[in-house]
Structure 1
Amino acid sequence: MVARSLARSLSLPQQAQAPRPARRPGPEVIQAVQRSCRAVTDRPVRLAEVFYDHLFEMAPTTRAMFAADMTGQMQKMTDALLAAIAQISAQDTAELEVVLHRMGREHYVKYHVEPEHYMYVAHALTRAVRDVADQDYSSYLSSCWIAVIQWVTEHMVAGTRAAMGTPVIHGPR
């Protein structure tokens, strides 16, 4: 709301504004992702291992942001992901959005995660789920995961931008 007010008061041209925020995925998309999480919850460490392999392959400089022993980090990442996916189906996601915003802010302050890092995170996570889900993965499921990941990362990036002091400006809805 503040961002929209700021955008109107600045009268920025349309091309200078950020894209519209991702809409919360619909119930059928969320259900598809939640169903696919069964393969992930059976092998949560495997998901994290594959995710970080993809992340470090796509963005090698991010490796320096992590400790040499990734055991604890892998568990935290998987727990946070599965908790967010479990909560996203709630009617009111305001609490989840606040948590994601705070996580984005904390990741920037503690670990220097920049907004552009989230692009790599989204791609690495989609690829990791594909690899872990194996034959259960389809183009439809890929699209569902992408929608959910975009929604989650958008809220984390908003927290990152807030920590950076950069306003988030959305185009008209």
Structure 2
Amino acid sequence: MNSTHVRLVQESFAKVVPISEQAALLFYDRLFEIAPAVKAMFPADMTEQRKKLMMMLAAVVSGLGNLESILPAASALAKRHVSYGAKAEHYPVVGAALLWTLEKGLGPAWTHEVADAWTAAYGTLSGYMISEAYGRAQAAE
């Protein structure tokens, strides 16, 4: 992930913030559509979960320019996810749902460059989280 990726992620996320409630709905609808088994890991009332998702994304996006500043929180989150039943193989599915959501939410602003930037950012962070939660061997898979 380079400085151009960081800039593109931050600029594009700024366009998502005004539609954050819609984006969170889209994300979870898509996630449960492509991975129905994960729905059991979530509460029946998703209102707070959707808010948490958008707050977490905002914190990560704002911290991308200084990645070290967000790694402790990412590590703690990854370890908490294990206790909810998350597995390393869920991370790519979550990434796919996130990218799909961003594509739908950004419309024409979703360019190849923006997609590459988000893919790089998610790959960097999810790889770190997997290694923190499950060890380095699983992160490489």
TM-score scaled by structure 1? Answer: 0.76
TM alignment of 1:18-167, pairs within 5 A: 25-90=1-66, 93-109=67-83, 111-161=84-134, 167=135
Report the Cα offset of residue 119 of structure 1: 0.8
Describe the SS at the equivalent of 2:26.
helix
After superposing on structure 2, the runs of 4+ consecutive aligned residues of structure 1 that deviate more than 3 Å are none
2:126 matched to 1:168?
no
* Distance of 1:97 and 1:37 partners within structure 2: 19
CA deviation profile, 1:83-128 (whole Å, cap 9, x unmatched): 10100112xx32311211111001111x111110001011000010
Paired residue type of 1:61? A
Q: How many angstroms apart in 2 are the aligned matches of 1:27 and 1:140?
A: 13
> Which residue identity is paired with 1:140?
E
- The runs of 5 or more residues in structure 2 that have no matched partner are none
Cα distance in 1 for residues equivalent to 2:38 and 2:136: 24
The answer (yes or no) to whether the contact 1:55–1:120 under 8 Å persists in 2 is: yes
> TM-score, with normalisation over the residues of structure 2?
0.93
Q: Name the SS of the counterpart of 1:89 in structure 2.
A: helix
Deviations 1:45-100 (A, max 9, x none): 1111111111111111011111111010000011001110100112xx32311211
CA distance in 2, matches of 1:44, 1:117: 23
In structure 2, what residue type is equivalent to 1:154?
Answer: G
**Rg: which structure is higher?**
1
Which letter does structure 1 place at the counterpart of 2:58?
L
> Structure 1 or 2: larger helix share?
2
Aligned with 2:70: secondary structure? helix
What residue ranges of structure 1 are gaps of 5+ in the alignment?
A: 1-24, 162-166
